[in-house]
Amino acid sequence: MDHIVIIGNGISGVTLARHIRKLSDKKITIISAESDYFFSRTALMYVYMGHMKFEHTQPYENWFWKKNSIDLVNGFVEKVETDAKKLVLKDGSSISYDKLVIATGSKPNKFGWSGQDLNGVQGLYSKQDLELLEKNAPNNKVCNRAVIVGGGLIGIEMAEMLRSREIPVTFLVREKSFWNGVLPAGESAMINEHILEHHIDLQLDTNLEKIISDDNGRAKAVVTDKGETIECNVVGLTAGVTPNIDFLKDSGIELGRGVKVNRFLETNVKDVFAIGDCAEQHEGIGSRRPIEAVWYTGRMMGEALAQTLCNKPRKYAPGHWFNSAKFLDVEYQTYGWVFSERSKKDNEQHFHWRHPSEKICITVAFDKDNHQFLGLNTFGIRMRHEIFDQWLTENRDIDHVMTYLRDANFDPEFYKLYEEEIVAKYNADFNKNIIPKKKSWKRIFSIA
């Protein structure tokens, strides 16, 4: 019987194990250095904010693994010997495999800043990071101010976490406007305002120069490239993540920024595969990046590889891009491709509507030549995934999207709806005369 060994018990490794078990009785071992049991990384912030206990982030009961004959090993893999098909762990023990899957996720970026390894300087990725933050910043008496470096999704989460305990936060963002490498200008500007309204000291167009130590090797201030010194007790490094693959350096497995894989998630070495944040496609699929550090793509890779390992070869084929996140209390969803000004394609045109007073907006991208719908971003309005997926597959044009926009709205009943205003602005901007159709459950159920 094949022994499948998975390094990493995150969403990708665990999805793979569950699906292999559904399909076969192969021997499965999952190794992780982080936690005994799988937990939801995306929920870590809610533990610090007091909305849930750490146990509540574990989707499966502890007995689940034994009942499903999935062996769990708590240990750190230091070396992979592909010729001998053997792993060497930090405690000196070794584990043999028939098939090896690398699902080791990411680690926070550190760019060689002076002081980056001082006490009080930390990332936000792991369970250990959460525990460290609890020590470093239990309240605003121990932590008078935190400085967060790097304006992405994890940075804003960390700011929200610290603000929930009324800890003053300075947020250093290299870009001239928040996340404007990803978001179109109107949306990015709205999030700038939202951050400031939450009493976060957002400093745009500002880089970290160095972190200054006190006499005990603890961070006591940062210096920015604007020459400002900001006193603080905690420095959060949230300037992106990189695949967690240092231990593979001498393994013979082809590495780029991540572990190089083909569409079947195979590496250059027979019987060795990689999935999740640490996997790097030789070429990105469509407009996707070669490394996709998001939750659902890790899950999809796990599902696809389980089929392959159970003799039903299946390519990783993620379909239309979508994602969702939260900027403080504003929900964000994206379907298809809506590029920022920086990465916009020549043929891409945007329609943008923003509510006059609230943090609600929508941007629709379409082809300026044939008006084909390319993608949509919404903030503060919930949309139905299946409908946009279908419209993208059917190559609908933007007039169709505007006409049937009410079908796509997923906000709970009695929420105020904005399709009327959105379509009126579209008509005015593009000299059209679209009359939005009433929501039809028949149409919605025919898609869902």
Ligand X SMILES: Cc1cc2nc3c(=O)[nH]c(=O)nc-3n(C[C@H](O)[C@H](O)[C@H](O)COP(=O)(O)OP(=O)(O)OC[C@H]3O[C@@H](n4cnc5c(N)ncnc54)[C@H](O)[C@@H]3O)c2cc1C
**Which part of the chain contacts ligand X (CB under 6 A), choosing from 29-37, 55-63, 352-360, 427-435?**
29-37
Cα–Cα separations (whole angstroms), residue 5 to 22, 31, 85: 16, 8, 10
* Choice between 159 and 405, CB closer to ligand X: 159
Distance CA 68, CA 9 (A): 15
CB of 203 to ligand X, least distance (A): 22
Query: What track of x and - describes contact with ligand X for positions 352 through 371 (by CB under 6 A)?
Result: --------------------
CB of 24 to ligand X, least distance (A): 21
Question: Contacts with ligand X: how many residues (CB under 6 A)?
Answer: 33
152 binds ligand X (CB under 6 A): no
188 binds ligand X (CB under 6 A): no
* Choice between 13 and 375, CB closer to ligand X: 13
Query: What track of x and - describes contact with ligand X for positions 389 through 418 (by CB under 6 A)?
Result: ------------------------------
| 71 contacts 187 by C-beta, under 8 angstroms | no
11 binds ligand X (CB under 6 A): yes
Give the one residue of 4, 5, 6, 12 binding ligand X; rule: CB under 6 A. 12
Q: Give me the amino acid identity at 159.
A: A
Burial class (CB in 10 A: 0-12, 13-18, 19+), 430: middle
CB of 128 to ligand X, least distance (A): 9
280 binds ligand X (CB under 6 A): no
CB of 49 to ligand X, least distance (A): 12
Distance CA 274, CA 272 (A): 7
If you ran DSSP here, which 8-state letter would residue 434 be given? Answer: -
Beta bridge partners of 120: none
Cα–Cα separations (whole angstroms), residue 439 to 155, 403, 407: 38, 10, 5
Write the DSSP assignment of 113-160 as a string of letters. Answer: -BTTTSBTEE-S-SHHHHHHHHHH-SSTTT-S-EEEE--SHHHHHHHH
CB of 413 to ligand X, least distance (A): 26
267 binds ligand X (CB under 6 A): no
151 binds ligand X (CB under 6 A): no
* Choice between 213 and 307, CB closer to ligand X: 307
**Which part of the chain contacts ligand X (CB under 6 A), choosing from 5-13, 255-263, 314-322, 370-378?**
5-13
Distance CA 6, CA 245 (A): 14
| 95 contacts 75 by C-beta, under 8 angstroms | no
* Choice between 101 and 398, CB closer to ligand X: 101
295 binds ligand X (CB under 6 A): yes
Cα–Cα separations (whole angstroms), residue 295 to 65, 112, 369, 429: 21, 28, 34, 37
30 binds ligand X (CB under 6 A): no
* Choice between 65 and 247, CB closer to ligand X: 247
Give the one residue of 152, 236, 258, 298 binding ligand X; rule: CB under 6 A. 298
CB of 389 to ligand X, least distance (A): 17
104 binds ligand X (CB under 6 A): yes
Q: Give me the amino acid identity at 252.
A: G
Give the one residue of 17, 20, 105, 362 binding ligand X; rule: CB under 6 A. 105
Angle at 160 between CA 159 and CA 164, to 5 degrees: 115
Give the one residue of 5, 20, 100, 103 binding ligand X; rule: CB under 6 A. 103
Please enumerate in sequence order all residues whose Cβ is within 8 A of that of 210, keeping only pairs 6 or more positions apart, or say none.
113, 114, 115, 222, 223
Tokens representing residue 56 in the block:
């509540």
**Which part of the chain contacts ligand X (CB under 6 A), choosing from 256-264, 289-297, 355-363, 393-401?**
289-297
* Choice between 224 and 251, CB closer to ligand X: 251
Pairing of strands 219-224, 70-74: unpaired
How do the residues of the chain divide into helix, strand and coil, expressed in percent and rounded to 5? 25, 25, 45
**Which part of the chain contacts ligand X (CB under 6 A), choosing from 28-36, 141-149, 189-197, 427-435?**
28-36
CB of 57 to ligand X, least distance (A): 11
Q: Give me the amino acid identity at 257.
A: R
| 316 contacts 301 by C-beta, under 8 angstroms | yes
* Choice between 78 and 166, CB closer to ligand X: 78
Please enumerate in sequence order all residues whose Cβ is within 8 A of that of 282, keeping only pairs 6 or more positions apart, or say none.
260, 261, 262, 290
Which spans of this chain sit near ligand X (rule: CB under 6 A)?
A: 7-13, 31-34, 41-42, 44, 76-77, 103-106, 124-125, 154, 157, 244, 247, 276-277, 293-295, 298, 325
